[in-house]
Structure 1
Amino acid sequence: MFISVQNNQFIKNNKPYHFIGTNFWYGAHLAAEKSGNRVRLLKELDVLQTHGITNLRIMAGSEGADHLPYSIPISMQPKLGVYNDDILEGLDFLLFEMKKRDMHAAVCLSNFWYWSGGLSQYLSWATGNQIPYPNDTGNWEKYMRFTANFYGNEDAISAYLMHVKTIITRINSISGLPYFEDDTIMSWELANEPYAIQHRQEYLNWIENSSKFIKKLAPNHLVTIGGEGNTPFSFFTNNNCLSDYSFDSLDYITIHIWIQNWEWYNPEKHDSTYQKALRKAKNYIKDHIAVANTLNKPVVLEEFGISRDNLIYTNQSSVNHRNIYFKDIFNILLEHTKMKSPLVGCNFWAWGGLGTVNTPGEVSNNNLEFIGDPAHEPQGWYSVFENDASTLQIIKEFNSELNQQNL
């Protein structure tokens, strides 16, 4: 059964659909028969299902040569228009196994950030210009301004749209079902965290044209941008949630909250910074619920997380502070779902599962041992692992409460 939107709510089988899910961005790569690990994938899907997780935010795009620095090691599209069938079939396998477990996918089609290639790689292919990796230069603004040039480059946009069409019209090699007919897919996201920056009007044009294009290809699926919302730095990102999501071709709003990255919270000073950070997070949610009410659309908090206690990166370290934060966020969600607020679900960042932190706290490609932390970030930073039993129990309990509401 396809997930639909009625007013500001998700609906499944004529009932509300609320969820606590996760980001499982590497799912297609883990599911690849040759370069992945299907035994591990199946175990992880079973663990997620056992804890009531039915919604996975996954990536359906990785671009650029294999083993690029700070990127997914094996690319889905290593050259422009040339695909790695092993990764594509991994995506088929992932969706097929998710369907068995009555799970749904929010499928992200590209990325503003370079850890999966994304918009910067399409722009590099179109112009021949090298991507200015901020891990090398230390200059994040230069990278972001470079990537925002994507919205004004017709060749880069054409390449992106060709990828969108390739994925959405793909026939699953296992089920034989076209992706656009697969109700395992809840929604398509234009890209992960796209910023407008210096190209505001071109950015809006890209949102409108791309979302309409997807709607024509997959009329039964939901469409959203995949962004953070207004961010605390909207003076630079030049995003405006109210206008960004005003198009009829967009079905719901996404927001991300990063209390640590945004320097609201210091894990080494939890007692003195946490409550203030939580208040800011609540206000961020409140502000975007107001936008959702204005547009009469649901809103999903699809990325949030904090580090393990005292910024220790090994997956054996404690997660007491993370558990407190997750409980607080889940309680906010539960409160709003009870009152039929537009806040309908959340996806924590990110599932690390049975993976191993090979280089704790260091940037690396993690030797194909996929965890929740992308290659350009410290490994073990935000991952939730299968051995984080206390966190998983909290997730299970809150999902059980949400399921009671869905009855």
Structure 2
Amino acid sequence: MRKTTRRRILVAGVSVTALTLFGCSAATPAVPHFVKREGCRLTLDGESYRFAGANLWYGAYLGADAAYGDRPRLGRELDRLKALGITNLRIMASAEEGPLKAGIKPGFRTKDSWNETLFEGLDYCLAEMAKRDMKAVLCLTNFWEWSGGMMTYLYYTTGEYVDMNDPAHPWPEFPDKNSDFYRSEAAIGLYHDHVRRMVGRTNKVTGQPYSDDPTLMSWQLCNEPRPGVTPAVIDRALPDYYAWIAATARLIRSIDSNHLLSLGQEGTTASAGREDVFVEAHKEMDYVTAHIWPLNWGWIDGKDLVGTWDAGAAKVADYIDTHIRLATEMDKPLVFEEFGFPRDGELYDPEITTAFRERFYGIIYKAVEDSVASGGPVAGSNFWAWNGEARAAHDDHIFYPGDTAYMGDPPHEPQGWYGIFDSDASMHDIIKAHVAEVSPS
């Protein structure tokens, strides 16, 4: 998901600088039923497609017909999200089993075998989403450790790995080492095997090929792929990074010509602030993405929200402005597909208030609403993430191997850190008000 240097943050009210929004190029006819790109718009059946979305990384896990699954809960969570007006879900369509301590198990694959039960869990999830007229973004691997990801592909091919948060390998050794993935033909080959298997799959619940399923909005190459963190590593990795993006885009389009492609990148934070990398990395993509993590990036202090909110909110507004400008210059739609903020005091239980989170969501949602109103490039957003009825299984809020109370907070993070619970009434009201602005009935 995101960088795990856990510098704490939070926020307390201030107005945000006005966003400068721009117009889009003229539209052309769209292919019915599938979400398409027309200049800097997403369209569906010839009309602008705007959405309020969420991240539900564990959708395939709940959908699995197995001890670790919970199909009745999946139905309840989708109903809750639908009631809020959420119509777009970003879901993990991969998890690679390996030695990383925080990597969730089971995965979709090991080096030599596939977990068909989990693939069928994704089939079931998509079938249930279709009943509720929801769209899916399916993510095909992860830069971070919590679902195995690129580091596990390197382990499959070399037997070596660096674990995140290992005192022997402090930050940024993990992300810098992970950049070796882009120059490993063997690791990319295994990843492409998964891409072929997933993109070319036929849903066993509906009998429909994924490539023909209008429930799917976009294939996403990876969750937050970075070319490293250290500037010298980024410079070394960039040619291979760009080549991996281009080769994967060609592969997916050779199997599926109906659906959009997205990279899953955080934005300029992924490349130490370099705008040129953001632009080049998205050349093969149908739309651009940005993620916003003020606490993780050190913009606020979770234990001093009042004292750090103003400066943090200004950085959030500037980050939003930067990516709206870049998307406009590229004439491509923009989605704020991850944004998260802790509960007040950076505590984890659902009884804790969310005053500062509400203000943070207000900043993101206002930017989307302003762009919709002005014909700008922002197509929608996916908050991170939905906890729903799940509650931390342990008093220490740690996810232990074998746990199945899946939350929006992945296994490597405190359970309850960022996710929205089914009991968060004030957050629900904010989401519903935003839905009314961007997709009025």
Check the 8 A contact 1:361/1:380 in 2, yes or no: no
Q: How many aligned positions are there?
A: 400
The answer to whether residue 410 in structure 2 is matched with residue 374 in structure 1 is yes
CA distance in 1, matches of 2:75, 2:276: 38
Match in the other structure for 1:282: 317
Check the 8 A contact 1:355/1:385 in 2, yes or no: yes
User: 317-326 vs 198-207, which deviates more?
Assistant: 317-326
Go from structure 1 to structure 2 and tell me whether the alpha carbon gap of 1:81 and 1:185 turns closer, same or farther (over 3 Å shift): farther
Check the 8 A contact 2:162/2:169 in 1, yes or no: no
Go from structure 1 to structure 2 and tell me whether the alpha carbon gap of 1:140 and 1:368 turns closer, same or farther (over 3 Å shift): farther
Check the 8 A contact 1:10/1:17 in 2, yes or no: yes
Check the 8 A contact 1:234/1:240 in 2, yes or no: no
CA distance in 1, matches of 2:100, 2:154: 16
Match in the other structure for 2:213: 182
Please state how far the C-alpha of 1:232 moved relative to its aligned partner.
Answer: 7.5
RMSD: 1.8
User: 360-369 vs 41-50, which deviates more?
Assistant: 360-369
Scaled by the length of structure 2, the TM-score of the pair is 0.87
Check the 8 A contact 1:3/1:12 in 2, yes or no: yes
Check the 8 A contact 1:302/1:347 in 2, yes or no: yes
- Describe the SS at the equivalent of 2:89: strand
Please state how far the C-alpha of 1:267 moved relative to its aligned partner.
Answer: 2.5
Match in the other structure for 2:420: 384
The partner residue of 2:301 within 266, 273, 278 is: 266
The answer to whether residue 256 in structure 2 is matched with residue 218 in structure 1 is yes
CA displacement 1:106-161 (0-9 Å, x = unmatched): 11100000100111111110111133332554613111122110001000000001
Please state how far the C-alpha of 1:364 moved relative to its aligned partner.
Answer: 2.7
The answer to whether residue 169 in structure 2 is matched with residue 131 in structure 1 is no
User: 370-379 vs 170-179, which deviates more?
Assistant: 370-379
Match in the other structure for 1:153: 184
The answer to whether residue 34 in structure 2 is matched with residue 2 in structure 1 is yes
Check the 8 A contact 2:55/2:385 in 1, yes or no: yes
Go from structure 1 to structure 2 and tell me whether the alpha carbon gap of 1:232 and 1:13 turns closer, same or farther (over 3 Å shift): closer
Check the 8 A contact 1:151/1:206 in 2, yes or no: yes
CA distance in 1, matches of 2:121, 2:366: 35
Go from structure 1 to structure 2 and tell me whether the alpha carbon gap of 1:71 and 1:232 turns closer, same or farther (over 3 Å shift): closer
- Describe the SS at the equivalent of 1:69: coil
CA distance in 1, matches of 2:256, 2:270: 33
Which consecutive residues of structure 2, in runs of 5 or more, have no partner in the other structure? 1-32
Check the 8 A contact 2:338/2:384 in 1, yes or no: yes
Match in the other structure for 2:82: 49
- Describe the SS at the equivalent of 1:48: helix
CA distance in 2, matches of 1:27, 1:136: 32
Check the 8 A contact 1:229/1:254 in 2, yes or no: yes
Check the 8 A contact 2:154/2:161 in 1, yes or no: no
Please state how far the C-alpha of 1:386 moved relative to its aligned partner.
Answer: 0.8
Check the 8 A contact 2:63/2:74 in 1, yes or no: yes
What letter corresponds to residue 254 of structure 1 in structure 2? Answer: T
The answer to whether residue 171 in structure 2 is matched with residue 140 in structure 1 is yes
Which structure dedicates a bigger proportion of its chain to helix? 1
CA distance in 2, matches of 1:112, 1:354: 28
CA distance in 2, matches of 1:311, 1:301: 23
User: 172-181 vs 358-367, which deviates more?
Assistant: 358-367
Match in the other structure for 1:38: 71
Match in the other structure for 1:335: 370
Check the 8 A contact 1:360/1:379 in 2, yes or no: no
Please state how far the C-alpha of 1:73 moved relative to its aligned partner.
Answer: 2.7
What letter corresponds to residue 127 of structure 1 in structure 2? Answer: T
CA displacement 1:76-119 (0-9 Å, x = unmatched): 11x22411121111000000000000100111100000100111
- Describe the SS at the equivalent of 2:172: helix
CA distance in 2, matches of 1:52, 1:191: 26
Please state how far the C-alpha of 1:61 moved relative to its aligned partner.
Answer: 0.2
Check the 8 A contact 1:98/1:184 in 2, yes or no: yes
The partner residue of 2:61 within 29, 40, 47 is: 29
Check the 8 A contact 1:352/1:386 in 2, yes or no: yes
Match in the other structure for 2:350: 315
CA distance in 2, matches of 1:331, 1:245: 25
CA displacement 1:284-326 (0-9 Å, x = unmatched): 1111112111211001011111100111111221112111211
Check the 8 A contact 1:309/1:318 in 2, yes or no: yes
Check the 8 A contact 1:313/1:361 in 2, yes or no: no
User: 382-391 vs 364-373, which deviates more?
Assistant: 364-373
Scaled by the length of structure 1, the TM-score of the pair is 0.94
- Describe the SS at the equivalent of 2:37: strand
Structure having greater relative contact order (Cα 8 Å, sep ≥ 6): 2
Please state how far the C-alpha of 1:190 moved relative to its aligned partner.
Answer: 0.5
Match in the other structure for 2:281: 244
The answer to whether residue 244 in structure 2 is matched with residue 209 in structure 1 is no
Go from structure 1 to structure 2 and tell me whether the alpha carbon gap of 1:153 and 1:68 turns closer, same or farther (over 3 Å shift): closer
What letter corresponds to residue 390 of structure 2 in structure 1? Answer: G
Equivalent pairs: percent with the same residue? 36
CA distance in 1, matches of 2:137, 2:352: 30
